[in-house]
Amino acid sequence: MRVYETVLYAEDVVGTAGFYADVLGLRQLREADETSAVFRLADNGVLLIFEPKRAGAPGRIVPSHGAIGPGHIALSVEPEGLETWAGRLREQGVEIEHEHEWAPGGRSLYVRDPAGNSVELVEGEVWPP
């Protein structure tokens, strides 16, 4: 079993989608609108960005869902790629909130998307196998 899709929530879906497309370089599957944005990840998983009030409304074709407060996503980057990402993010004016080295040997850096969600870029392993 693997994660097929995950959802982050944003009041400004289009602005937040721009971060994932332009800054992180994720492939958008269709143009973002005020309701949602859809991205395909390298492992064929899907990242969805939903406007929280609409996603939580009853009567949708799928069960309503949502979250309160900032969410979190961790994206794996290529080995030896974290320094490149750090430079790219700084060039784009994105503040690196935290950098961390993990006991199993992995490293992470954390930034915030425009909606305030925590975005972690992971190099190596942060969890024991």
Apex CA 113: angle with CA 78 and CA 72, to 5°?
Answer: 70
In a domain, 42, yes or no: yes
CATH of the domain at 72: 3.10.180.10
- % the chain with pLDDT above 70: 100
Segment 51-66 mean pLDDT:
92
- Say if residue 97's pLDDT is above 90: yes
In a domain, 119, yes or no: yes
The residue ranking higher by pLDDT, 129 or 90, is 90
Domain limits at 51? Answer: 5-123
Q: What is the pLDDT of residue 105?
A: 86
Query: What total of structural domains would you count in the chain?
Result: 1
In a domain, 72, yes or no: yes
Using pLDDT thresholds of 50, 70 and 90, give the confidence band for residue 129: confident
In a domain, 59, yes or no: yes
In a domain, 129, yes or no: no
